[in-house]
Amino acid sequence: MGEWRIEWLARDHLREGFDCGKPSLNEFVRALVSQYEKRGLGRTYVAVQEGDRRVRGYYTLASGAIDAESLPAKQAKKLPRHAVPVVLLARLAVDRSVHGRGLGGVLLRDALKRSNDLSEKLGIHAVVVDALDAEAKAFYERFGFLPLTDDEMRLFLPVSTIRSAAKP
């Protein structure tokens, strides 16, 4: 298998056959993503291989905010008592044809790198994700995400942790 290329979604990416096993994630990339892009509701990045425009995986980033009180006490300690800015990892999915080959990790690392880059230009406290199920939650926890206090399926990773991991 060749190297993955992560690209901003374009018209010529082939999305119609995408199947990750989760109907809502399939429907989003097949039918809804273009409207989200046009309206500035999110930016979707896709994984393709050289010479092949078929989407094998994707993720969507959007801006968001969370209440400081939803963070564990240790993380909320020095924060103001109002909403704090976050990057929302709105979706992440891998086509069944390439499950188990590490593409989910490649996509997540790319999303975290983009989030870290954004944090150099504007205020971002963390990356937040809403896990669809226990399997997705376990995936994010392997990368250091922690649950928010108000919803165990809503997880976060502080930008400071991402920065520390990115240092050589």
10-residue mean pLDDT profile of the chain (168 residues): values are: 86 96 97 96 97 97 94 86 94 97 97 96 96 97 96 96 85
DSSP structural state of residue 70? G
Q: How far is CA 17 from the centre of its chain?
A: 21
Residue appearing with tokens 């880059």: 117
CATH topology classification for 4-166: Aminopeptidase (3.40.630)
CB of 111 closer than 8 Å to CB of 127: yes
pLDDT the model gives residue 2: 55
Domain ranges of the chain: 4-166
**Tokens 């078929």 identify what position?**
54
Residue with tokens 């509701």: 41
What residues are labeled active site?
Answer: 140
The dihedral formed by the CA atoms of 137, 140, 142 and 148, expressed in degrees to the nearest 10:
-70
The pLDDT assigned to 1 comes to 43
**pTM across the whole model:** 0.93
